[in-house]
Amino acid sequence: MAVTLERARRVGYTCLKALLRFAFMVANNLVAIPSYVLYLIVLQPLRILDSKSFWYIEGVLFKWLLAMVASWGWWAGYTVVEWGDDVKAVSEDEAMVLVNHQATGDVCTLMMCLQDKGTVVRQMMWLMDHIFKYTNFGIVSLIHGDFFIRQGRTHRDQQLVLLKEHLEKYYRSRNRKWIVLFPEGGFLRKRRETSQAFAKKNNLPFLKHVTLPRIGATQVILKTLVAPQENGTPSGGDAVRKESKSKGLQWVIDTTIAYPKAEPIDIQTWILGYRQPTVTHVHYRIFPVKDVPAEPEALTNWLYQRFIEKEDLLTHFYETGAFPPPKGQTKAISREMTLSNLWLVAIQSFAFLSGGMWYCLFQYLYHCLF
């Protein structure tokens, strides 16, 4: 009986905590997202007079919004330990980030672990499934200039054309530095069986923890953003010619996300916090873009090799609880990623104060007009 009562108390506490967290998240969204939009509406004259300053301010607000999302997981005990290369060293350069995809929580994990990487978050562009356009965060991503890609064979060619046009129009005009994409084209659980069948048919390695990546978006990004002297291909149209100071895309950051026991965190868990505190592990490997082949067949093989390496990394992690050391070293070094609670409280407070300010302003205008 005592055990039953104790279990009931734990379940009740978990449900109450989840309800309170959900209420806070809703309130947070109701003040933060409209405030972001309204600030940028008011700043439209600055966009005309000094677009660089406008997009700087937009980037700061965008980073704060992503930090609010990160705080939901951080305060639930969902932390990150990082392995491999130190990406802070290239945080001011242009880079393409290739990430394996297991669940919706992958995006939240990146929102968290990139917060302390200098200007990366405010100057990054995301490639995400078009369905996210219709979420509460969709309006923010639209304004920021992220690209929503529609999956499926029937849309593929058209989407790649639209991606190229999007990059030429927005990437450098808004001073973007990093571009994040998930080359697998979907969640592991949804694509694994199809990927394994394709691998068997084409005599490719059998992968369990990742799927074979799709090359289309990666190829478009490289062709559009890499400076011509680095791979001999034409640069990204007018956008690159206008931005003569840009060195072009310089790095490819191969990022591997691993969850304990291969149990990924989804967005519902991130919001409600009903899972016990969990440490997510993120491994980085940096490649100079000059070492990445430009020809489609060679690039396909190169990209396949990266995901075969991810498979090996994840297999080692699930067996040992740690990523293997780099070649030539005997020990892998991990780094615990941290966020400042004071800073998180400050930006949350700013969001709620902004919401209150806009509410009072509209109330005042309403009474003046009516």
| Alpha-carbon span 101 to 105, nearest angstrom | 9
For 127, the enclosing helix (H) or strand (E) is: strand 124-129
User: CB–CB of 206/306 below 8 Å?
Assistant: no
- Residue 350's CB: how many other CB atoms inside 10 A? 16
Query: What pLDDT is stored for residue 241 in this prediction?
Result: 40
Query: What pLDDT is stored for residue 39 in this prediction?
Result: 97
User: CB–CB of 125/180 below 8 Å?
Assistant: yes
Tell the residue number behind the tokens 């409600």, with chain if given.
Answer: 272
Query: What pLDDT is stored for residue 2 in this prediction?
Result: 52
Flag residues of the chain having pLDDT under 50. Answer: 1, 230-244
User: CB–CB of 161/251 below 8 Å?
Assistant: no
The upper half-sphere exposure of residue 165, i.e. CA atoms within 13 Å in the direction of its Cβ, equals 8
Can you name the residues that pair with 178 across neighbouring β-strands? 95, 124
- 8-state DSSP, 178: E
| Alpha-carbon span 148 to 155, nearest angstrom | 12
Domains of the chain are 78-227+247-344 (3.40.1130)
Query: To 5 degrees, how large is the angle CA 292–CA 294–CA 297?
Result: 100
SS3 label, residue 101? coil
351 phi, psi to nearest 5 deg: -65, -45
- Strands 178-181 and 147-149, by their bridges, are unpaired
Query: What pLDDT is stored for residue 12 in this prediction?
Result: 83
